[in-house]
Structure 1
Amino acid sequence: MKEPKAKGYLMTLAGGACWGLSGCCGQFLFEQKGATAEWLVAIRLLTAGLILAAAGFWKNGKENISLFKNKKDIRQLLLFSFAGIWVSQYTYFAAIQHSNAGTATVLQYMFPVLILIVICLKEKRLPIGIELTAIILSVLGTVILGTHGDFTTLHMTPAALFFGLAAAVGGMLYNMLPGDLIQRYGMFQVVGFGMIFSGAVFCAAVKPWNQYVIWDVGTVLTLAGVIVVGTAVGFGLYLQGVSIIGPLKGSMLASIEPVSAVIISVFWLGTAFTVFDLIGFVMIMGTVMLLTWKQTPKKGD
């Protein structure tokens, strides 16, 4: 019994680490190969979507298109595709382009707090207890990250802060817009086709084939890191791990993503972080732990 659980923990952690590596690969492409967020996101969405959809057909056959039999579900998929997938992906990689993978990933992880605020607004109530603590902690963490304690100076570019906070909004939309689609149809069908639709439209808009990028072995390997490792391998490991240990523990362990992004960016890309950066990181990630702990069922429930 213990061995499958341990395997589930390891797979979930590995999936989150793959996502962190994906962000660092994006930073490498921006810094070393002349890539842009528009170029990378267009290619990633379309290619990763095709990989996921193909995996869905391999696993489920014709059932992989069952969603398209329901017009309401198609409309919801399209909304999720553009307002959820595209917004979250573009703002995240734009934040990396204007800052670094570690900072962008941590700022993106403010999305649970935004989800909490939306829930409070829907329920027409104020946040209380742990909820209020999490909101205050995330705001303070963002302020420290942006100002380094000097409230007269911004220690990151306005674009970095904007896209970092927009990535948190994107994370919220990505998690809330699909509703029960993924539960009813599966990740391969919903996320796969969602990526294909938004990726195809974005490719037509930005024409990535016309943008200059330095093509060499490093470019191919890091692009594969974003598309294959960050999507197919990352999602596969994470979902398999969650199927063993459950979604609650899985969501907590997924917090390894920003931690791995920070560590990899330091040792691989030479990104420098200050003490204030680390304090801001800890405060923002602390909100994830608090909100996950709040959801943990008590004994007797």
Structure 2
Amino acid sequence: MNRRRGIFLVITGAIFWGIGGTVAKKLFQDYYIDVNWLVTTRLLIAGLLLLTVQFFRADRSQIFGVWKNRSSATHLLIFGLLGMLAVQYTYMASIQHGNAAVATLLQYLAPIMIIVYLILRKQTVLTRKDLVTVSLALVGCFFLLTNGSISQLSVPTPAIVWGVLSGVALAFYTLYAIPLLKQYDSLVIVGWAMIIGGFSLSLIHPPWRMDFEGLNLEAYSYLVFVIIFSTMIAFWFYIESLQSLQAKESSLLGSIEPLAAVLTTVFWLKEPFGIFQWGGTACIIGMIFLLALNKETTPRSSELPVKEEPLRVS
């Protein structure tokens, strides 16, 4: 029963993550929601909820204990700004300019960036499996972004730029979080990082500056899904799944996220997807599965961030 519960939780969380990006695109294109407002609100509310969950768990002392050490406090501030905020903003900006499918798949290039970084730093050696995963990523990106045509891109350039930056930000977010996650629970680190990122962005784009009169019940339901289900609950479910599953298993099942993003983008939002783009999607999802099955090759970008205990970010 515990194993079945873990499988249910991780699959549900991954599906929520994947669908969340598509729902955000719906908000951008149909209700003209500002990406700055959505990122700010999403981070602040989800961060507070995650810390609330931690408060009712075993070690609530960590919630404020992380701030008592100057080194961990400084580390957390940097992680919140250059890690969490950067990942969330670039990902949402890529969705706004393109679609959730492309944004999610480009973000999943982060493990490849980590492999290259570690090789350049001589912290790991290039293996045959690394060559296969990098090749799958490059071929997948080429078909995804060009649909097989060298003369023109099938995805808007701003969406590609923000998507690649999202992958870079996630790579940094994954590597930089490791020391913190060795000392504190992931809910504490991610919760505070979200609050730090959301509060910082709110100084430039206050969340109360929003034309709420222009939103109907459907728009509010989409907002609840993006903020609560695809952020707070999705992450919580993913973490809880580790109580009954190995991190490797959660990672593999979590790979359903990009598939959910692609399917909802194509069949719900009716975004065009050519045959070569489907081929590129298959290459990238294959690369994700290969990395998930070979945990030793690269630090888990879990989604947070994390994992061995995973920290997700979508």
Report the counterpart of residue 251 of structure 2 in structure 1: 251
Cα distance in 2 for partners of 1:232, 1:44 equals 9
CA contact (8 A) 1:34 1:212 kept: no
Give the whole-Å Cα distance in 1 for the aligned partners of 2:5 and 2:75.
35
TM-score, normalised by the number of residues in structure 1: 0.92
Q: Mean alpha-carbon deviation: is it higher for 97-106 or for 115-124? A: 115-124
Secondary structure at the aligned position of 2:269 is classed as coil
Whole-Å separation in 2 of the counterparts to 1:265 and 1:46: 26
Shifted more, 147-156 versus 202-211: the winner is 202-211
Report how far residue 26 of structure 1 moved: 0.6
Instruction: Verify the 8 A CA contact 2:145 2:153 in the aligned structure 1.
Output: yes
Q: Aligned residue for 1:134? A: 133
Residue 8 of structure 1 and its aligned partner are, at CA, apart by: 1.4
Moved over 4 A (4+): none
- Which residue type is aligned with residue 207 of structure 1? P
Deviation at 1:235, TM superposition (A): 1.1
Deviation at 1:243, TM superposition (A): 2.2
**Greater shift in the superposed pair: 172-181 or 81-90:** 172-181
Q: What SS does the corresponding residue of 2:151 show, helix, strand or coil?
A: coil
Cα distance per residue 1:210-242 (max 9 Å; x no partner): 344632212211111111101221011111112
Structure 1 segment 118-157 matched on structure 2, within 5 A? 118-123=117-122, 127-157=126-156
Partners of 1:98 and 1:212 in 2: CA distance: 21
Contact 1:96–1:104 (8 Å) recurs in 2: yes
Structure 1, residues 71-112: CA drift from partner, whole Å, max 9, x if none?
100111111101110111011111110111111111111111
Instruction: Quote the Cα distance in structure 2 between the aligned partners of 1:8 and 1:77.
Output: 29
Say whether 1:274 aligns with 2:274.
yes
Q: Which amino acid aligns with 2:46?
A: A
Deviation at 1:125, TM superposition (A): 6.3
The aligned counterpart of 1:11 is 9
Structure 1, unaligned runs of 5 or more: none
* Residues paired across the two proteins, number: 295
Post-superposition offset of 1:127: 2.2
Separation (CA, whole Å) in 2 of partners of 1:294 and 1:64: 33
Structure 2 CA distance for aligned equivalents of residues 36 and 287 of structure 1: 33
* Contact kept? 1:35, 1:212, Cα under 8 Å: no
CA separation in 1, counterparts of 2:107 and 2:166? Answer: 5
Residue 264 of structure 1: aligned partner = 264
Amino acid at match of 1:5: R
In 2, the alpha carbon distance for the partners of 1:295 and 1:238 equals 17
Spell out the pairing of 1:13-162 with structure 2 (5 A cutoff): 13-59=11-57, 60-123=59-122, 127-162=126-161
Does the 8 A contact of 2:62 with 2:185 survive in 1? no
For structure 2, the 5+ residue unaligned runs are 298-314
Give distance in 2, aligned partners of 1:63 and 1:241: 21
d(CA) in 2 for partners of 1:96 and 1:228? 19
Q: Please, what TM-score do these two structures have when normalized by structure 2?
A: 0.89
Equivalent in the alignment of 1:210: 209
Give the letter for the 2:189 counterpart: V
The letter of the residue matching 1:131 is D
Partners of 1:125 and 1:11 in 2: how far apart? 33
Letter aligned with residue 254 of structure 1: G
Q: Is the 8 A contact 2:44 2:194 kept in 1?
A: yes
Greater share of helix: 1
- Percent identity reads 29
Cα RMSD, aligned residues only: 1.8
User: Deviation of residue 18 (structure 1)?
Assistant: 1.1
Change (3 A) 1:197 1:295: closer
* Cross-structure match for 2:286: 286
For residue 177 of structure 2, what is the aligned residue in structure 1? 178
Quick check: 1:200 aligned with 2:187?
Answer: no
- CA 1:125–1:112: 2 relative to 1, 3 Å: closer
Output the amino acid matched with 1:227.
I
Question: Structure 2 CA distance, aligned partners of 1:22 and 1:74?
Answer: 30
- Post-superposition shift, 1:138? 0.5
Once residues 62 and 286 of structure 1 are traced to their aligned partners in structure 2, the CA distance between those partners, rounded to angstroms, is: 41
Letter in 2 for 1:29: L
Q: Is the 8 A contact 1:66 1:185 kept in 2?
A: no
Q: Secondary structure at the match of 2:155?
A: coil
* Contact 2:91/2:104 (8 A) holds in 1: yes
